[in-house]
Amino acid sequence: MWGGRFSKALNERALRYTTSLPVDRRLFEWDVLGSIAHARMLDRVGVLSHVDTCALVDGLTQLLQDPPPLDGPYEDIHSLVEAELGTRIGLVAGRLHTARSRNDQVATDTRLFTRAALVQGLWAVMELQQTLLEVAQQHTETVLPGYTHLQRAQPVVLAHHLLAYWEMLDRDAGRLRDCLVRADVLPLGAGALAGSPYPLDREYVAHLLGFAEVSRNSLDAVSDRDFIAEHLAALNLLAMHLSRCAEELVLWSTAEFAFVALDESYTTGSSIMPQKRNPDVAELLRGKTGRVYGALVGLLVTLKGLPMSYNRDLQEDKGPYFEAVDLVDDGLALLTAMLGSAAWRTERMEQAANDPLIAATDLADHLAQRGVPFRQAHEIVGRIVRAAEASSRSLADFSLDELRAFSPVFEASAVGLRADQVAAARNIVGGTAPSQVETQLRAAAERMTALRTWVDNAAAKLPTLESVTATD
């Protein structure tokens, strides 16, 4: 309950129902840092005395250095911080809320959290990308079947397959960077909804907290949660990519594929079948993706019917959001560990890549490169495939004379095609030829260096106790 307007305390059940403290206590550090910046600005513009400001900043610093229990009969983290500050420095704590509202305060805290979460997420993405590069560099000539419709299609090298996930993550990193640009706006100063009658220096607060700019409309500033929805949308795509990779680990670790053996520390046993080693971590990574999706849908449903400006519904933005951030961060870390510790069964991959029929497309291309229309070449090779199946032979077993019985255009280079030759023939930009994959690996490493520099610069702008209390 705030102020003297009320003659009754909030009903106990209503307090339990409305409190956001179990969720927004996670914003404690950001609330305190934002409060320090706010207090210093009020001193700077003459709204607070320097003596009061020093007391507030000292008390808030103590809260960070010796945090109180983040529980109790409080509506939210803001009221807890103010109450705990009051127990340490007395009545002067009440001056801290001058020229701000919980509406612009929580919007600021959440943006501070989002910026840090985006930076952390980018670091985690880069860790996974680096692991993919390291594994790929060891397997630039390891062939395995590429699949369409989950049927063997054409040979690829393992490095090329892993780099497909690297590219997905690179796009994910780009989306997270874009999110950071739009989250990097300071709402503090918007007040409850209409701004403030005090001569605030909002740009100074933005400087202390590392924001790139201040909000341009107070109504929008307190009610905007686009930046959370955008982050969640990026997390949804990232989680989907992690899930796809986890799905392949599940498939590839089966006896039917046997392309990979996951480290025992990321598998579990059966309660009744002693021989089992289940890829539970990968399965749960795949399964928890639905909860990440749910967080985005839930937020959009919450936002779609809200009138301007702040409404208490917005309290429900953070719980699913925080969980989605955690789920994706955990997924990134676990997938990085699983890929880095896996044993890649290259002999099994190469055996599967040398499927009896996998060179069919190359036989058709052989004819097309010699003037046969591709559709006709496709039909000719289809007949050869049917003959191979009928005689339980491999396409590589057909002699030149046997191939020429289907088309006189065949030449000696069509005989005995191996999987590594088929893969090496895809020697174009973006292809799976080992020489192209080496180029792709070098380019990926260069792009990672540039991304790392960008993220390091973004991380340097995040506020810390030292930066918000530093002498101007």
**Residue 84's CATH number:** 1.10.275.10
Residue 411 sits in a domain of what CATH number? 1.10.40.30
Does residue 399 carry a pLDDT above 90?
Answer: yes
Question: Where does 25-157 have alpha helices with state H?
Answer: 28-44, 50-65, 77-89, 102-137
Q: Are residues 251 and 348 in the same domain?
A: yes
Q: Are residues 43 and 59 in the same domain?
A: yes
Q: Are residues 331 and 395 in the same domain?
A: no
* 249, part of any domain: yes
- Find out whether 109 and 25 touch, Cβ atoms under 8 Å: no
Least confident of 12-16, 227-231, 277-281, 302-306: 12-16
Does residue 430 carry a pLDDT above 80?
Answer: yes
* pLDDT, mean of residues 363-367: 97
Least confident of 167-176, 268-277, 340-349: 268-277
| Residue 123, beta-bridge partner list | none
The pLDDT > 90 percentage for the chain reads 96
| Residue 155, beta-bridge partner list | 145
* 346, part of any domain: yes
Q: How far apart are CA 458 and CA 467, in angstroms?
A: 14
- Find out whether 364 and 378 touch, Cβ atoms under 8 Å: yes
Instruction: Give pLDDT tens digits for 383-397.
Output: 999 999 999 999 999
Structure confidence at residue 9 as a pLDDT band (50, 70, 90):
confident
Q: Which residues have a Cβ under 8 Å from the Cβ of 127 and sit 6 or more positions away?
A: 332, 333, 336
Q: Are residues 362 and 343 in the same domain?
A: no
Domain membership of residue 380 as a residue range: 355-417
Does residue 1 carry a pLDDT above 70?
Answer: no
Q: How far apart are CA 129 and CA 134, in angstroms?
A: 9
> Which residue, 338, 351, 337, 153, is CA-closest to 258?
351
Q: Are residues 448 and 410 in the same domain?
A: no
User: The tokens of 143 are what?
Assistant: 């062939």
Q: Are residues 209 and 339 in the same domain?
A: yes
Dihedral angle sign, alpha carbons of residues 375, 377, 380, 383: negative
Q: Determine the pLDDT at residue 451.
A: 97
Tell me which residue has tokens 């049927």.
Answer: 151
Q: Are residues 168 and 94 in the same domain?
A: no
Residue 46, SS3 per DSSP:
coil
CA dihedral 422, 413, 356, 400 (to 10 degrees): 170
Q: Determine the pLDDT at residue 149.
A: 97
* 216, part of any domain: yes
> Which residue, 253, 248, 242, 263, is CA-closest to 341?
263
- Find out whether 67 and 15 touch, Cβ atoms under 8 Å: no
* 472, part of any domain: no
Q: Which residues are marked as active site?
A: 149, 270
* pLDDT, mean of residues 114-140: 98
- Find out whether 127 and 408 touch, Cβ atoms under 8 Å: no
Does residue 332 carry a pLDDT above 90?
Answer: yes
Instruction: Give pLDDT tens digits for 96-110.
Output: 999 999 999 999 999
Q: Determine the pLDDT at residue 342.
A: 98
* pLDDT, mean of residues 160-176: 98
Structure confidence at residue 10 as a pLDDT band (50, 70, 90):
confident
Q: Are residues 199 and 85 in the same domain?
A: no
Structure confidence at residue 8 as a pLDDT band (50, 70, 90):
confident
- In Å, what is the CA distance from 193 to each residue of 20, 32, 99? 21, 22, 12
Q: Determine the pLDDT at residue 5.
A: 80
Q: Are residues 395 and 462 in the same domain?
A: no
Residue 190 sits in a domain of what CATH number? 1.20.200.10
Q: Are residues 45 and 110 in the same domain?
A: no
Instruction: Give pLDDT tens digits for 201-241.
Output: 999 999 999 999 999 999 999 999 999 999 999 999 999 99
Q: Determine the pLDDT at residue 4.
A: 75
Structure confidence at residue 3 as a pLDDT band (50, 70, 90):
low
Does residue 88 carry a pLDDT above 90?
Answer: yes
Least confident of 117-121, 233-237, 274-278, 400-404: 274-278
* 433, part of any domain: no
Q: Determine the pLDDT at residue 2.
A: 59
- In Å, what is the CA distance from 242 to each residue of 128, 168, 323, 334, 435? 10, 9, 16, 10, 27
Does residue 6 carry a pLDDT above 90?
Answer: no
Q: How far apart are CA 141 and CA 138, in angstroms?
A: 8
Q: Which residues have a Cβ under 8 Å from the Cβ of 304 and sit 6 or more positions away?
A: none
* pLDDT, mean of residues 289-293: 98
User: The tokens of 314 are what?
Assistant: 């917005």
Domains of the chain: total: 3
Average pLDDT, the chain: 97
Q: How far apart are CA 280 and CA 287, in angstroms?
A: 10
* 422, part of any domain: no
Q: Are residues 386 and 270 in the same domain?
A: no
Q: Are residues 30 and 94 in the same domain?
A: yes
